[in-house]
Chains A and B, each alone.
Chain A
Amino acid sequence: MSQEDSHEWELSKENVQPLRQGRVMSSLHEALSQQDSSSHTAVQLKKQEFEAEIRFYSGDDPLDVWERYIRWTEQAFPGGGKDGNLAAVLERAVQALHGHQQYYKDPRYLNLWLKFGDCCNEPLDLYSYLHSQEIGTTLALLYITWAEALEARGSFRKADVIFQEGLQRKAEPLDKLQAHHKQFQARVSRQTLLALEESPDGDNIGLLEIAEPQRSSLADLKGRGKKKVKAPISRVGDAVKVMNPNRSCQPQASLQLPNAPSFAVFDENSVSGPEIPTLTAQSWPAPPVPRAKENELSAGPWNSGRRRPRSTVSSGLEVPHPVPSFTPYVDESAQPQMMTPCKIEPSINRVLSTRKPEEREDPLQRVQHQQQDAEAKKEMVMYCKEKVYAGVDEFSFEEIRAEIYRKKARKKDEDEIQAIEQKKEEIQRKIEELEKKLKKKEDNKQQQPHEQVVEWKKGKKNVQLLTKEKFVMKSAGFHCLFCFFQDELNGIERLSEDAIVTGSYKNKTLCANPEDTCDFNRAAHLASTPFHGVVAQRVPAPAFSQSELKEDSPESKSAALNQETPVGEEAYTEALSVKKLSPIMEASLEDTHSSGASVSGGSLSSVTQTSAIKYLQISEKLELAQSLPAEGVTDDDVAQFLWSPEKRKKLLDSLMSSLAASPDFHLEAGALPHMEVEKDIELGNETYCIKMEYWNDEEYKVFFAVPTGCIFQWDAKGFAIKVYSQPVPWDFYITLELQKRLNSDFDQSFSENCSCYLYQDGCAIVHKNTNCFTLRDILHDRKFITKEIIFLVVHDLLHVVEKLHKAEIVHGDLRPEVLFLGDRICDAFSNEEVPNALKVVDFSHSLDLRVLPRVSLPYNFPTAQTPHGQQLLAESSLPYQVDLVGIADIVHLLLFGDHIQVYQENSIWKTSQNLSKTPDSDFWSKLFERILNADGKSTVPLLRELREEISEMFDSSFKERLLLTLAAVGETFLLVNFQ
């Protein structure tokens, strides 16, 4: 922040009204910086919000809204005055809350009145009104403020009376009142003493009469008058002001006073008694008598003077005024509009004769009038006047209507959500009931004598029961369960799947959560027509499954079981496992689109699954795929095989010679060593100590390790070791290819020191010089994610992907986890020459389009199976687009902390999140727009353009700020991890 910015307040100190409670620096700063710019949109919006809130407030504390509105106005309009309209807001508040008895003892309400009093010309009236209405009479603040106002006018005695009144009433907080009273007394006595010192001879001057009238400063002192040359008398000061209340009691009465000297010296002591009695039991007082004005001739001996022609100009009233002997003081710069000279014959129309400028000039008077008008009102308003004029601004009917509509819409939404919630509960209940029923049935069955079928059957039933139970409960995520079944018992899970497909559980919702439509979509695939035909083609007898499914007739059930009994347990499982298909895989034969999803989705829950079985399944699947009457052969096949280790192995076999030529390639005899966290492993000649696991998949795991013997530090670098359960060094191949194709562009964004250890049953790839944090670690804590970090990360992300695409490689699985943090973030003090914030070493799902150019189906990439990926990627999309979707998701995660959600509007994809509130929203919305709608276009220039746009934002101050953030991130990383 530049010096100019942060010290703006200093430059406008004259334009900032001091507040009793002080100002909030940030809002003051905001207000001042916005002064220049013509658009106060934010302020206007906030104001509008308050105005709307006032109109549509439905709680029981309307004062609260007003209070916040006033506080906000004070802070947001430091200049006070017209633009903030504080006086108007206060006035409205006072009017709106008039007669709310419940607030009369509320300090906030009193505060409101007192603030309003500050805007009035004559706050004393207001105080006495408050007193008479018993508003805030239990609060010390009223008396303190009142007495202060009186003191400022020099009416010490009256101020003291007010204090006494407050003390008598035991106004709260009493100690504060007492303290103020004491201070007041101290001040008075000190001033008195001073006065005594200054006028030692003034022994007859009353103690309280120091307040002598004084000449107004800068007044014209030229002598006037003919007989006696006198300077014009325009007294100001305490004494003059104090006269006012006196006059108010007897307006106009003094006109009848007998002749008196041209000016009587005001004697305060002659004012009879304390003022308070006159205030009691006033209803809303009569329209206040116009208060003393400079040019107003107050009650005095008007009839004694001679008439002078020039003084008649001022008021063309019918009764000629007696003219005083003195000249009323006319300010040189007196505004002529104050008293428009009457040009018309006064007798014609009095209404038009003169404008009375004072009329209702004082907000207090306006409020009073308004109240009176309201009382006297006879007409009925036939529109919602109170809504139109409730706040300071006038609302149009449309605005009101819109607000009402919005409110209704909001309510409807809420109701809907509630209804859904209820439904959900109901369904849950039903599910539970059904489960109970099922259990009962099962129990019944078990009780039936079937001696032949022994332990095994029982066990099987239980498992079956279990599977069903699980299935019903988790029907939304059913694909996850299949893997579970595979482990437990093969073959039987088909029933559950059939249940969905054939619809015997029709009335169960597939999606426990109505928001989560992606599962539903998936299920829709299964339920779509081509699938039903296939049920019959299944290897095990369909009758069996049907009967199991219906699970109503014990006979058929037992028959089915009897059929099976001859098979030994082991043999049975084996036999089935050979024939067995993961239902999802079967499905995938019909619908390749969902196959990838199922496999990888399933892996989530099947940590324990052995690769051997997997292997078996896949080969089985391949066979089947080939044996089936294929439709859309080639492309689908390619797509399917891509992620199969065989295909890759085949591909790599042909390239093995070139791989083996690399010095970092080590062919090891024997089996892949078992790896676990906190274990040492030996790879080649090195021994590593594994410190943690980044993530794992069913086929591969990624660890962080340090050389054995080294002390492990979180900020130090180590090795990322990827262990793949297949002897297919795909990552190594991709890394080598990248190195070859990118040449000089191959930098720290990729693994520069990568070695591969190929075993008989797997391979391990070791990436040197890797930090132990991934982007996910940053996302954990939103406070790290400053604007600068986001830009830096996105910039590098775009850059990395640009390079990959340039090398004709699609990553396919861009997630925060796979993006290791580069030195730029982890080591804030590393020099600028190491510009990489991210490092990509994992290419498990990558695709080399130079080798496999025919692939155009992006569906099998993990990114494509996310909800947004499914939406965004069409069958015809280029594979490159998969990475754009990945980028969009990561950017969204950085900006908002959750996954991207998209919708289509006018055939343009957009994010559901409102970007306008984020800083730099222009850029982000542009980025999303382009990335989400890049269909068919080449990705490399797009990425480059966006990246260059970001790098334009990197100026020197940006770097500084970035460095600060990075330092904070580094520190916090350490803290977090050591905890």
Chain B
Amino acid sequence: MAAQQQLGREHQGITLRGSAELVAEFFSYGINSILYQRGIYPPETFTRVQKYGLTLLVTTDPELANYLNNVTEQMKEWLYKCIVQRLVVVISSIESSEVLERWQFDIECDKTAKDDNGPREKSQKAIQDEIRSVIRQITATVTFLPLLESACAFDLLIYTDKDLAVPAKWEESGPQFIANSEEVRLRSFTTTIHKVNTTVAYKKDSVP
């Protein structure tokens, strides 16, 4: 019996709401990882949690955590409505406000999922495995990303479909591209409803 139940759970599909939650959760952990990896916030303000079979670092700074929670909730809602196209983490120098790094998560929503309510065939485990490899890659980017020498701040940009009412505390912004950048594509994962492609762009070394 137990084995059968187990089997049943593994074969469970995924619904739109579940997918939105998974993806929003990924963003939360992903952004936390980036903030830690890139030293945007002091490392001592992070704590370890186990997730996706990895040890991830999550901020303990209450303000930051609150902010990220808000974003995650907002993302969840938009993901559920399938109206978000892209989330960008922009890392820029505080002194010169020059954009130094740009983490771009492109989201492809399968809008047909809004209409058919049936779950899709993909187990949570498979999705989480895919997410894990993306997070691992985010960690591994230290191999090629330049050192952030000055104090940096981060900014979140969210690309949504047009005509969306901008919530309070959000404002419209430009894309904040990096001039003369090198772009590296990371792995992508899909829940079959949302597909997330990750790319990181960073300033090219001035001399080749």
Q: Are A18 and B145 in contact (CB under 8 A)?
A: yes
B187 at the interface (CB under 8 A from A): yes
Q: How far is the CB of A933 from chain B (nearest CB, A)?
A: 42
B116 at the interface (CB under 8 A from A): no
Q: Which of chain B's residues have a CB closer than 8 A to the CB of A326?
A: none
Q: Are A71 and B185 in contact (CB under 8 A)?
A: no
A16 at the interface (CB under 8 A from B): yes
Among listed B22-30, B60-68, B199-207, interface-contacting one: B199-207
Q: Which of chain A's residues have a CB closer than 8 A to the CB of B149?
A: 20
Among listed B70-78, B135-143, B189-197, interface-contacting one: B135-143
Q: How far is the CB of B167 from chain A (nearest CB, A)?
A: 34
A-contact 0/1 string along B129-160, CB 8 Å cutoff:
00000001101101111110111000000000
Q: How far is the CB of B195 from chain A (nearest CB, A)?
A: 15
Which one, A25, A175, A179, contacts B144 given CB within 8 A?
A25
Q: Are A24 and B146 in contact (CB under 8 A)?
A: no
Q: How far is the CB of B189 from chain A (nearest CB, A)?
A: 13
Which one, A24, A28, A78, A183, contacts B208 given CB within 8 A?
A24
Q: How far is the CB of A393 from chain B (nearest CB, A)?
A: 23
Q: How far is the CB of A738 from chain B (nearest CB, A)?
A: 50
> CA separation between A694 and B145, bound complex, in Å?
53
Q: How far is the CB of B166 from chain A (nearest CB, A)?
A: 34
Which one, A3, A13, A21, A179, contacts B205 given CB within 8 A?
A21
A246 at the interface (CB under 8 A from B): no
> CA separation between A978 and B82, bound complex, in Å?
38
Q: Are B140 and A25 in contact (CB under 8 A)?
A: no
Which one, B144, B147, B187, contacts A7 given CB within 8 A?
B187
Q: Are A24 and B143 in contact (CB under 8 A)?
A: no
Q: Which of chain B's residues have a CB closer than 8 A to the CB of A71?
A: 205, 207
A13-B145 contact, Cβ under 8 Å, with A7-B187, A24-B204: no
8 A Cβ contacts from A1-26 to B: 3, 6-7, 9-10, 12-13, 16, 18-25
Which one, A13, A22, A183, contacts B140 given CB within 8 A?
A13
Q: How far is the CB of B168 from chain A (nearest CB, A)?
A: 33
B183 to A, closest residue via Cβ? A25
> CA separation between A888 and B149, bound complex, in Å?
56
Pick from A3, A22, A175 the residue with the most CB of B within 10 Å.
Answer: A22
Q: Are A24 and B182 in contact (CB under 8 A)?
A: yes
A10-B140 contact, Cβ under 8 Å, with A21-B205, A179-B95: yes
Q: Are B146 and A78 in contact (CB under 8 A)?
A: no
Q: Which of chain B's residues have a CB closer than 8 A to the CB of A16?
A: 143-144
B179 at the interface (CB under 8 A from A): no
Q: Are A18 and B185 in contact (CB under 8 A)?
A: no
A interface bracket (residues with beta carbon within 8 Å of B): 20 to 34
A78 to B, closest residue via Cβ? B143
8 A Cβ contacts from B24-60 to A: none
B184 at the interface (CB under 8 A from A): yes
Q: Which of chain A's residues have a CB closer than 8 A to the CB of B182?
A: 22, 24-25
> CA separation between A24 and B146, bound complex, in Å?
10
Q: Which of chain A's residues have a CB closer than 8 A to the CB of B206?
A: 21
A25-B205 contact, Cβ under 8 Å, with A9-B143, A16-B144, A20-B147: no
Q: Which of chain A's residues have a CB closer than 8 A to the CB of B207?
A: 67-68, 71
A15 to B, closest residue via Cβ? B143
> CA separation between A28 and B146, bound complex, in Å?
13
Q: Are B151 and A183 in contact (CB under 8 A)?
A: yes
Q: How far is the CB of A840 from chain B (nearest CB, A)?
A: 43
A10-B137 contact, Cβ under 8 Å, with A24-B208, A71-B207: yes
> CA separation between A12 and B187, bound complex, in Å?
16
Q: Are B95 and A18 in contact (CB under 8 A)?
A: no
A9-B185 contact, Cβ under 8 Å, with A22-B203, A24-B205: no
A-contact 0/1 string along B90-102, CB 8 Å cutoff:
0000010000000
A32 to B, closest residue via Cβ? B143
Q: Which of chain B's residues have a CB closer than 8 A to the CB of A18?
A: 142-145, 147
Q: Are B187 and A28 in contact (CB under 8 A)?
A: no
Pick from B143, B146, B147 the residue with the most CB of A within 10 Å.
Answer: B143
Q: Which of chain A's residues have a CB closer than 8 A to the CB of B202?
A: 22
Q: Which of chain B's residues have a CB closer than 8 A to the CB of A78?
A: 143
Q: Which of chain B's residues have a CB closer than 8 A to the CB of A19?
A: 146-147
Q: Which of chain A's residues have a CB closer than 8 A to the CB of B208?
A: 24
Q: Are B145 and A6 in contact (CB under 8 A)?
A: no
> CA separation between A260 and B147, bound complex, in Å?
46
Which one, B95, B144, B187, contacts A23 given CB within 8 A?
B144
> CA separation between A78 and B140, bound complex, in Å?
14
B149 to A, closest residue via Cβ? A20
> CA separation between A18 and B37, bound complex, in Å?
13
Pick from A3, A6, A10, A183 the residue with the most CB of B within 10 Å.
Answer: A10
Q: Which of chain B's residues have a CB closer than 8 A to the CB of A175?
A: 95
B-contact 0/1 string along A165-177, CB 8 Å cutoff:
0000000000100
B146 to A, closest residue via Cβ? A22
A180 to B, closest residue via Cβ? B150
Q: Which of chain A's residues have a CB closer than 8 A to the CB of B147?
A: 18-22
> CA separation between A752 and B156, bound complex, in Å?
61
A108 to B, closest residue via Cβ? B207
Q: Are B136 and A22 in contact (CB under 8 A)?
A: no
Q: Are B143 and A23 in contact (CB under 8 A)?
A: yes
> CA separation between A6 and B182, bound complex, in Å?
15
8 A Cβ contacts from A709-767 to B: none
Q: How far is the CB of A817 from chain B (nearest CB, A)?
A: 39
> CA separation between A411 and B150, bound complex, in Å?
49
Q: Which of chain B's residues have a CB closer than 8 A to the CB of A9?
A: 140, 143-144
Q: Which of chain B's residues have a CB closer than 8 A to the CB of A183?
A: 151
Q: Which of chain B's residues have a CB closer than 8 A to the CB of A13?
A: 139-140, 142-143
Q: Which of chain B's residues have a CB closer than 8 A to the CB of A22?
A: 144-147, 182, 202-205
> CA separation between A18 and B204, bound complex, in Å?
14
Q: Which of chain B's residues have a CB closer than 8 A to the CB of A25?
A: 144, 182, 184
Q: How far is the CB of B127 from chain A (nearest CB, A)?
A: 17
> CA separation between A524 and B142, bound complex, in Å?
69
Q: How far is the CB of B119 from chain A (nearest CB, A)?
A: 27
Q: How far is the CB of B20 from chain A (nearest CB, A)?
A: 26
Q: Which of chain B's residues have a CB closer than 8 A to the CB of A6?
A: 185
Q: Which of chain B's residues have a CB closer than 8 A to the CB of A23?
A: 143-144
A18 to B, closest residue via Cβ? B142
Q: Which of chain B's residues have a CB closer than 8 A to the CB of A24?
A: 144, 182, 204-205, 208
Q: How far is the CB of B5 from chain A (nearest CB, A)?
A: 34
> CA separation between A19 and B208, bound complex, in Å?
14
Q: Which of chain A's residues have a CB closer than 8 A to the CB of B187?
A: 3, 7
A6 to B, closest residue via Cβ? B185
Q: Which of chain A's residues have a CB closer than 8 A to the CB of B204?
A: 22, 24
Q: Which of chain B's residues have a CB closer than 8 A to the CB of A12?
A: 143
Q: How far is the CB of A5 from chain B (nearest CB, A)?
A: 12
Q: How far is the CB of B47 from chain A (nearest CB, A)?
A: 17
A14 to B, closest residue via Cβ? B143
Q: How far is the CB of B51 from chain A (nearest CB, A)?
A: 19
Q: Are A28 and B205 in contact (CB under 8 A)?
A: no
> CA separation between A10 and B137, bound complex, in Å?
6
A67 to B, closest residue via Cβ? B207
> CA separation between A291 and B152, bound complex, in Å?
37
B100 to A, closest residue via Cβ? A22
8 A Cβ contacts from A249-286 to B: none
> CA separation between A18 and B146, bound complex, in Å?
7
A187 to B, closest residue via Cβ? B42
Q: Are A7 and B137 in contact (CB under 8 A)?
A: yes
> CA separation between A21 and B147, bound complex, in Å?
6
> CA separation between A175 and B150, bound complex, in Å?
12
Q: Which of chain A's residues have a CB closer than 8 A to the CB of B142?
A: 13, 18
4 cross-chain pairs, A with B, having the tightest CB-CB distances, nearest first: A22-B146, A23-B144, A16-B143, A13-B140
Q: List 20 A-B contacts (CB under 8 A).
A: A10-B136, A13-B139, A13-B142, A13-B143, A16-B143, A16-B144, A18-B143, A18-B144, A19-B147, A20-B146, A20-B147, A21-B147, A22-B144, A22-B182, A22-B205, A25-B144, A28-B143, A67-B207, A71-B207, A183-B151
4 more contacts with CB within 8 A, not counting A13-B139, A71-B205, A71-B207, are A12-B143, A18-B147, A21-B205, A175-B95
